[in-house]
Chains A and B, each alone.
Chain A
Amino acid sequence: MNEAKPIGGKIWTMPFLFLTAIVILAVFFLAERFLFGLGSVTNMNDSYPWGIWIAYDVVIGTAFACGGYSMALLVYVFNKGEYHPLVRPALLASLFGYTLAGVSVIFDIGRYWQAYNIMIPSKMNFHSVLLEVALCIGTYVLVLWVEFAPAVLEKVRAERQLAKLNKVIFVFIALGVLLPSMHQSSLGTMMLAAGHKLSPLWWSKSLPMLFLISAMTIGYAVVVFESTVAALAFKRPLETGMLSKLSGLIPWLLGGYLLVRLQDINGAGLLPLAFSGGLQGNMFLLENLLLLGALLLLIYPINRSSPRMLFIAALLIMAGGGLYRLNVYLIGYDPGTGFHYFPSAPELLVTFALIAVEIMGYTWFVKRFPVLPAVKHA
């Protein structure tokens, strides 16, 4: 753990300034949203009560933020200590992903000034899957900050607090594995309730399980992606050795996922629907082709040791897994005749701004705090 070191360098680079501009623009639209309501900024309507802010920022965003979960599961539960250097950067990405998902929910709640009620036990609706998701994600955000706290404590040299935290941190690590297992599957459970409104290409009793497995798979893919991009962006050596070993897991997860997913569709006799040529059918094919492509790439050990193939496979998984979630929450969802939804430009901008904040936060942290493993000079 002591091997991590801040990488230093200038914060206000050109890309950083560009991202700041997007954020400023989004803040303007958010002010409009909070003053004049959701209708003034978004394209949501009575039958599409959620849009891109939930579908991307929360559902896909938290899946992309599952790196911390997947790594904690591997390192602490399966005791694979060799991957430890990957944990802290993965946690950092998760931290931003989840925190911003929580923030995004506040943007999305119509009467946001009532949001605090969800924390009051007497006001809770215990029959709601959404309550489980909300409490679970809320708690997990806190847990993530505690899990990440050692990096901050090391930076400010608060040795006493660090020692104290290290004594109890196992509780938080355990929670950090438990909570995502709960809410990632609940994100699938939630759409079980949509029933016939969700196309049969996605509605299935396996939804919770598929969401959980895909979250884990995306988690590992994100670790590969994030490590590779950090290496390229900050001109650091690639961590290919560790990544290729890690990605040996992915074919198993992905293979299992695709087996369940495709047999689900085949067993229900829905393959003709998938090939019917409509938007939903094509999206179904695209989603599964992307994942199948990644599986075919990663099955061969030779590809797993190539940083380029690894990176492409990680991108395919993130695209396919993300599309799966987008399909479940928006594209495959048809609430009834006459209703349309396509995000408005300001709505999209807010989502881009959240991604920008994630990138900016990540950069700032790795430059100023001990997150990435120190480079050993040859």
Chain B
Amino acid sequence: MDDRSFEKVRGRLLGVSRRDFMKFCTAMAASMGLPLSMAPRIANAVTSAKRAPVIWLSGQGCTGCTESLLRPSHPTLEHLILDLISLDYNETLNVGAGHQAEAAMNKSIEENHGKFILVVEGAIPLKDGGVYCQVAGRPFVDTVKETAAKAAAIVAIGSCASWGGIPAAEPNPTGATGLPEVLKGSTVVTIPGCPPNAYNFLSTVIHFLTFNKLPALDDKGRPKFAYGRLIHANCERRPHFDNGRFALKFGDEGHRLGYCLYKLGCKGPMTYANCPSVLFCDVGSGAWPVGTGHPCFGCTEEGVGFTIPLHTQADVSHFTPAAAHPPIVEDQGSAVTPGAAALLAGVAGAAIGAGAVAAKKLGEIESDKEQS
């Protein structure tokens, strides 16, 4: 994006410098695994005059997902993104309340029919006609179904919206269900995590705005750029696993030395997420659960998080420890051996001798010629 086009949108960026802005777009491209040449396209999409409206519905959740969305620690960029996606309705962030808020939502849904992005946070209870979660006197499930029919794209943010999460944990008294289950037949992007990484959500939305289509998804609706690999594959403590160095108790020596948490019940070997590489809160290395010394509990993986007990050992299906390791102490070479030195010196001496003899012979030939 050149200076002139940046000037046009500067007013809406709340004082973000052009350099910071392009850095943000480049980081977004990188986190989605797109070529960096896409950054200008992202910049144009992000600053286009027509902002994509977002309707954010909250069901059985703790609003942690909304909180995490506010946490990307480039403060100005947080404003930028709220500005960018034109967050028309979010129960946690709305200024208005009650009928006023509901009216605003309905107005936006009608005005942006088929254009807005629907984000659902929290699980949806289905038991007893969905009466266990009601907003404005209506069962949540009805609002979700009605709104989803008019949306351009549907995103389930957080583990609760993705498959039920905590509300759906046994014995699941309210019949809590995930959004894909409720909206069978429509494409639902799921961004599981408790809370999910805000950048995974932002990247998905920006991908949609830039290319007018959703990123590649896996069979559980998760964007592959973020959920394509096991945590175990990229974990910074992986070398300890491979070498059999484990923390056995919280606070033991291995734990203090930062050894592998597998034996404390880490679910990294079963959980697909990019936590080890994207990290949280932009504060540098180690800012993710395993980095702080707590085993991963599998929050992004249905059937693992909130299902398998915290300290049960995970199944390791692949990435088992290596059978052999390269040596740590390497051979640094030996000093001169007498044999080798003698051999080299002998040959060098012989060569010098041969050269001298040849030179002498040449001298004789020369003097012979002079005499004759």
Enumerate chain A interface residues (CB-CB to B < 8 A): 39, 43-48, 228-229, 232, 238, 306-308, 311-312, 315, 338-345, 347-349, 352
Contacts and interface: CB of A to CB of B under 8 A. Distances in A.
Given A45-B330, A45-B332, A341-B333, A307 B362 contact: yes
B361 A312 contact: no
A341 B335 CA distance: 7
Contacts of A45: 330-333
B340 A352 contact: no
B136 interface: no
Given A39-B331, A228-B358, A349 B343 contact: yes
A47 B331 CA distance: 9
B62 interface: no
A47 B335 CA distance: 14
A345 B340 contact: yes
Instruction: Identify the interface centre among A44, A238, A308, A344: most chain B CB within 10 Å of its CB.
Output: A308
Contacts of B333: 43-45, 47-48, 339-342
A238 B365 contact: yes
Nearest to A316: B355
B337 A339 contact: no
B251 interface: no
Interface residues of B, number: 22
A342 B332 contact: no
A338 B366 CA distance: 53
A344 B334 CA distance: 9
B152 interface: no
B284 interface: no
B339 interface: yes
Nearest to A342: B336
B232 to A, nearest CB: 30
Given A46-B330, A46-B331, A348-B343, A308 B362 contact: yes
Given A43-B334, A45-B331, A307 B366 contact: yes
Contacts of A306: 366
B340 A229 contact: no
B336 to A, nearest CB: 4
A347 B344 CA distance: 11
Interface of B: 330-337, 339-341, 343-344, 347, 355, 358-359, 361-363, 365-366
Contact of B339 (A312, A339, A340, A345): A345
A343 B332 contact: no
Q: Tell which of B339, B343, B362 has the most Cβ of chain A within 10 Å.
A: B362
A341 B334 CA distance: 7
A116 to B, nearest CB: 26
A39 B333 CA distance: 10
Contacts of A229: 358
A308 B340 contact: no
25 contacts: A43-B334, A45-B331, A46-B332, A48-B333, A228-B358, A228-B362, A238-B362, A306-B366, A307-B366, A308-B359, A311-B358, A311-B359, A311-B362, A315-B355, A315-B359, A339-B333, A340-B334, A341-B333, A342-B333, A342-B336, A343-B344, A345-B343, A348-B340, A348-B347, A349-B343
Main secondary structure of the interface of B (DSSP, over half): helix
Contact of A232 (B340, B347, B361): B361
A342 B362 contact: no
Those 10 A-B pairs whose CB atoms lie nearest each other, nearest first = A308-B362, A340-B333, A45-B333, A342-B336, A345-B340, A345-B339, A308-B363, A307-B362, A338-B332, A339-B332
A232 B362 contact: yes
A46 B336 CA distance: 17
A344 B344 contact: no
A308 B330 CA distance: 51
Nearest to A341: B333
Given A43-B334, A340-B333, A340-B334, 7 more contacts: A46-B330, A47-B333, A306-B366, A342-B333, A343-B344, A348-B340, A348-B343
Nearest to A348: B343
A348 B341 CA distance: 10
A293 B344 CA distance: 24
A352 B365 CA distance: 30
A353 B346 CA distance: 15
A200 to B, nearest CB: 23
B345 to A, nearest CB: 11
Contacts of B365: 238, 307
Contacts of B341: 342
Given A229-B358, A307-B366, A311-B358, A342 B331 contact: no
B17 to A, nearest CB: 35
Contacts of A342: 333-337, 340-341
Nearest to A344: B340
Q: Which of A39, A339, A342 has the most CB of B within 10 A?
A: A342
Contacts of A315: 355, 359
Nearest to A315: B355
B371 to A, nearest CB: 15
A368 to B, nearest CB: 24
Contacts of B344: 343, 348
Nearest to A307: B362
B132 to A, nearest CB: 62
B90 to A, nearest CB: 51
B343 to A, nearest CB: 5
A344 B333 CA distance: 10
Interface hub of B330, B341, B358, B363 (most chain A Cβ within 10 A): B358
A306 B367 CA distance: 10
A352 B331 CA distance: 26
B347 A352 contact: yes
Contacts of B343: 345, 348-349
Contacts of A47: 332-333
Contacts of A345: 337, 339-340, 343
A307 B341 CA distance: 33
A238 B333 CA distance: 47
Contacts of A39: 331
A234 to B, nearest CB: 13
Nearest to A233: B358
A19 to B, nearest CB: 13
